[in-house]
Structure 1
């Protein structure tokens, strides 16, 4: 499980294509949408918005899915 992550931290996560690397854009603590997908984030269940180093696309992940690179 990821420790406290901060904006700019380099992280990696698993995708269906394998391991992906990128950086933390922000900690999301309120519901939002990314590419039409609902992100059910809250203060008690935050998610991190990450940006892929390879594609530049953004996605939301729960803290347990991210590992510092």
Structure 2
């Protein structure tokens, strides 16, 4: 299991007691606004914006929360 993902990778994550699936849309490496909130990311601690297959909504997750499908 890797903590490095690239745009287009298909991943899964835990969401409200079940498992969600989606695609990585962006690697975030600086503090920015994404998915409706402020994301405190850095080059040393990146986060990933993902788009849910089911809802089409975007979310941001730390790499440890994502699992490559």
Q: Name the TM-score, length of structure 2 as normaliser.
A: 0.89
Instruction: Please list, as runs of the form range in 1=range in 2, the aligned pairs for 1:1-69 lying within 5 A after superposition.
Output: 2-69=2-69
Structure 2 Cα separation of the partners of residues 62 and 35 of structure 1: 13
Q: Deviation at 1:13?
A: 0.1
Per-residue CA distance 1:44-66 (angstroms, 9 max, x = gap): 11001100001111111000000
SS of residue matched to 2:2 = coil
Q: Is the 8 A contact 2:27 2:48 kept in 1?
A: yes
TM-score normalised by the chain length of structure 1: 0.89
The runs of 5 or more residues in structure 1 that have no matched partner are: none
